[in-house]
Every structure is written in C-alpha cells, then in structure tokens.
C-alpha cells in the first residue's frame, strides 16, 4: 500500500570525472572509486529505480506507476505524464571538471530523440575552495561567433565562470551552456531525460586513451544564444518554513531547514512530494508510518498523503513537487 515514505535503491554511475565523496560522506555503498552520480529516483529507460524499503521493496518505480497511477503522482500529473515519472533526482560528485555541455528543449528533444528536454536546477551541498560552475558566456555571442571560438580552440575564453559556496542554488534553462567544476557536490533536480550534448571536454582521454564523444553539430541548434547570464537563485532560509528556490513549469523546489517538528498539510496539493536531505537527518511520517532520512538520502511521498510530519534536531531538506 502507498501509506509510507518510499526510498529507492541508488543507481550509481562511474564517471571519468567522479570522486569518492558519495561513498565516504553521503551514505552510498560501492567498491568503485570514481562514482560521479547517484540517481536517487529515476524512470529513465534501463535505469528505473527499485523500492528499497517496506512492503513494496523490490518493486520498480514504473510498476508502481502502473499499479497506483494518480495515487502515486497526483491526478494532474498522471493526466499530463501518464505512465512516465516526470523527474530525475540525483546527487553529483565532481572530483574533476565535467564537460562543457548543453541540453536541448522539449521541442528539439522530441524531434530528435522522442524525449523530454532537460531543464534542471542545482543545489550546492559542498564546494572546495575556489570551486566554480560554468554558466553561459561572459559576453553576448552570435551563433557564428560561437562557432569561431569553438573551431579555433578558444571556447574557454568566452565561458562565464562563477565562484560558488555551500547553499548556492542555480536554475539551468535548456539551451544554457554549462558545466560543473571540480570539487563540487550537489543535488540535481531535472526533467526525466538523459539527453546531453557535450561541446568541449578539456582535451582529456579515458583509461583506454580515447576521447569522449562530442556533439558539437547537434549542440549548435540546441544553444539559446538569446539567453542572458544564468545566475544563482535568491531564496530565504527561514527556519521551519518552506522557502521557494525555483518554481517553473517542470518542478517547484523549496528549501526547508527543520529544527524540532514541522507538520505540512498537502491536502490541497495534487502531486507527489520528494524530500532530499542535504544536511543532518530527520524522520518523516505519513499515515503513522515513519522513515528516517539522513544526509545524501531521498524519499518519495505519494500523492495520497495529506499530512507529512518531519522531526529533526537539525536538518536541511529540499522539497520537490510539481
């Protein structure tokens, strides 16, 4: 029954740029060293999450959708997305720079890949000294100017770097050229899509001496050159309150610092709720059933839950809904 907070088995991804922090500091388990991503909740083909707790343990997210439909995701979401879970939830550890990349919008993704686009946001959980993100260009560019810099090996000179710290958050629209820099651990909320066009990968090679595939031709049409500079989100951090970080067509993300007990009424909310623990630990209860969540863990609250009770000595949660 859908009467308890659902946890899922993390799907861990080895990456050329990955590190060890998801294992050593964020409660993941693996013998592989270079873990770059932990897919917490996923409905991506061949990467569908399985329930890790309770009476539904072992069941896939997709099977839950087919069995429970709107009881799991909400009536409006089921009407809109059908048997497809609309969000992909991740933790990312970048020990080295990620490739410079861009994600196509819904229209282009549908045309080329029969997929959704990839609008996303980042919440910085940890950042080494001088850590940075690449967010767009440092000056306005035309398509022709961009291609000139790319073809002449000068793309780095027009990329915009932004220094970051723990607690910073960023909204990444489709069409924005971007990259996560070395020394960053973050939470990522995005549309369910694995479509990424790599533009530049710092001329590095893998263990077999091969360069990773670039998608420079595909990327040109995906870049939105009309976008201004992507900037970090401004949000409040009021204790025991839901502080909105991002609100868009695809998801709403709130920051909730908890001390003591907080009860949230979702009776008027027609959606599932996801909690990502980005600091500390808490217990989350629905229908008198309780699940513990700690740093680096994620829980899914089904749409049938009208009241959620959170208790913690001190924690910080991201609350994600549609």
Specify burial of residue 287 (Cβ count, 10 A radius: 0-12, 13-18, 19+): middle
Q: 288-314: string of b/e by CB count within 10 Å (b at 16+)?
A: eeebebebbbbbbbbbbbeebebbbee
Please name which of 251, 228, 204 lies closest in space to residue 99, comparing C-alpha atoms.
204
* 83 alpha-carbon distance from chain centroid: 20
Annotated active-site residue in 112, 198, 204, 234? 198
- Which 3 state secondary structure label does DSSP give 251? coil
Specify burial of residue 100 (Cβ count, 10 A radius: 0-12, 13-18, 19+): buried
Tokens 């670039």, residue located: 214
Other C-beta atoms closer than 10 Å to the C-beta of 81 total 18
Reduce the secondary structure of 98-135 to three states and give it as a string: CCEEECCCHHHHHHHHCCCCCCEEEEEEEECCCCEEEE
Query: Is 212 considered catalytic here?
Result: no
Q: Which residues are catalytic?
A: 198
């Amino acid at each position: 029954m859908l009467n308890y907070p659902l946890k899922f088995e993390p799907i861990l991804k080895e990456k050329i740029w990955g590190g060890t922090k998801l294992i050593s500091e964020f409660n993941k388990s693996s013998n592989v060293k270079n873990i770059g991503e932990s897919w917490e909740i996923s409905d991506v083909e061949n990467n569908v999450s399985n329930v890790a707790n309770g009476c539904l343990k072992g069941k896939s997210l997709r099977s839950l959708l087919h069995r429970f439909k709107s009881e799991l995701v909400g009536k409006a979401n089921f009407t809109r997305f059908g048997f497809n879970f609309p969000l992909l939830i991740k933790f990312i550890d970048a020990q080295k720079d990620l490739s410079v990349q861009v994600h196509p919008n819904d229209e282009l993704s549908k045309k080329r890949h029969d997929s959704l686009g990839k609008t996303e946001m980042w919440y910085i959980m940890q950042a080494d000294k001088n850590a940075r993100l690449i967010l767009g260009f440092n000056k306005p560019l035309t398509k022709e100017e961009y291609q000139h810099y790319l073809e002449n090996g000068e793309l780095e000179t027009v990329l915009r770097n932004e220094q970051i710290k723990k607690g910073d958050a960023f909204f990444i629209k489709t069409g924005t050229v971007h990259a996560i820099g070395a020394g960053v651990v973050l939470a990522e909320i995005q549309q369910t899509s694995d479509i990424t066009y790599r533009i530049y990968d710092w001329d590095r090679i893998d263990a077999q001496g091969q360069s990773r595939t670039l998608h420079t031709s595909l990327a040109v049409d995906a870049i939105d050159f009309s976008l201004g500079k992507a900037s970090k989100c401004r949000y409040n951090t009021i204790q025991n309150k839901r502080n909105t970080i991002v609100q868009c067509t695809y998801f709403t993300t709130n920051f909730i610092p908890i001390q003591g007990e907080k009860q949230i009424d979702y009776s008027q909310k027609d959606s599932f709720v996801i909690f990502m623990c980005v600091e500390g630990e808490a217990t989350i209860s629905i229908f008198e059933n309780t699940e513990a969540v700690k740093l680096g863990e994620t829980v899914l609250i089904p749409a049938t839950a009208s009241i959620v009770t959170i208790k913690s000595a001190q924690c910080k949660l991201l609350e994600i809904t549609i």
